Structure 1
């Protein structure tokens, strides 16, 4: 499916992309043979640009398989042309490029043998493992390749500096602070710090 854009007024009273998409993927259709539908069990908008949801198929009100829905999202309430909200929907069997689905949604999905869905799930789980690596104040880390900055500095080793939830970095020589985009997804490892103990004489 291609992109669908609309104004805020066309969002059925919903005040956010998440609320609108939760409603879109929760419905029931009645036929003479019975009813079929979908219901959103959990969802999240990540980075303001991607909607992830665990969606359960229903038949005659009974829950069946649970699969992942991924929507690319564009949200601009001040758009002059009235295209305040746009989305493009996919499911996991279509092999979405976006792979930052939250763990709580991944845990709800039913087993699948669809190879495209399996590859997508593996990428999401790999990213979850990367993001779970701890970064603590004062920790020294080493990137697999040098990181370059606009001031001309380039290096592989950095010291973690945390201010609340914000993470910045400084060079071992004291330069910085530096910001490194998508640092959780980059290849890095902690550098052990050698502890020097004072010599004691009996």
Structure 2
């Protein structure tokens, strides 16, 4: 399905978007009812869990999803969104259609029904979402070793960095201090995949905690 834009500009705010996603995920057909369970917005993309039941109360038999104990199935949906000249638009797809955007929070994934095919598009999509969720959120002062060196615009690379911040106007923004040069670099969250904590800012501030954390290492 392609993009659909609302030329009446009735969708203007986050609340408007959330209400519209809820409406799109709540409807009846001749035999089925679909109801929104949970939504979450990451960047400009909305992720949703939608529960499907039969109007006559019989179990839902689906080729993609295993039927839950109550006879329903809960599927994942992705809504790409953007504004064009003030008009809000969306492009929706079900998780089995192989969406590229894959940053659904675990709170959404944990609601979804089991999949029948472990090699399906939906299974791969869920794994990418879990991989994204597993990327650590480091604290300021944490020293980190990246999974592989990152190439910088000047042709150099960096692999060991320390999380820090810089100010831009009234906002503090995350950046990383390069171990070898002391320079600052912005890193995407994706570049932190597979990284490991070399030393914790929290443990450095507390000798007792540092001793405890050292004892947890294999």
Q: Structure 2 length normalisation: TM-score?
A: 0.70
Say how many residue pairs are matched.
Answer: 182
The equivalences for 1:150-161 within 5 A come to 150=153, 154-161=157-164
Q: Deviations over 1:37-66 (max 9, x none)?
A: 211100012112x11100011222857100
Q: Among residues 174, 179, 199, which one is paired with 1:167 in the alignment? A: 174
- Give the CA deviation at 1:167: 2.5
- Give the CA deviation at 1:75: 2.6
Task: Decide whether the 8 Å contact of 1:127 with 1:185 is kept in 2.
Answer: no
**Residue 58 (structure 1) aligns with:** 53
Structure 1 pair 144–95 and aligned structure 2 pair: CA distance change class (3 A)? same
SS of the aligned residue for 2:185 comes to coil
Distance in structure 1 (CA, Å) of the matches to 2:172 and 2:113: 33
The equivalences for 1:123-138 within 5 A come to 123-130=128-135, 133-138=136-141
> RMSD in angstroms over aligned alpha carbons?
3.1
Runs (5+) with no aligned partner, structure 2: 58-70, 205-218
Runs (5+) with no aligned partner, structure 1: 196-202
Task: Decide whether the 8 Å contact of 2:5 with 2:89 is kept in 1.
Answer: yes
SS of the aligned residue for 1:100 comes to coil
Structure 1 pair 61–43 and aligned structure 2 pair: CA distance change class (3 A)? farther
- Give the CA deviation at 1:99: 1.0
- Give the CA deviation at 1:93: 1.0
Q: Tell me, yes or no, if structure 1 residue 5 matches structure 2 residue 10.
A: no
- Give the CA deviation at 1:154: 3.1
Q: Structure 1 length normalisation: TM-score?
A: 0.75
SS of the aligned residue for 2:104 comes to coil
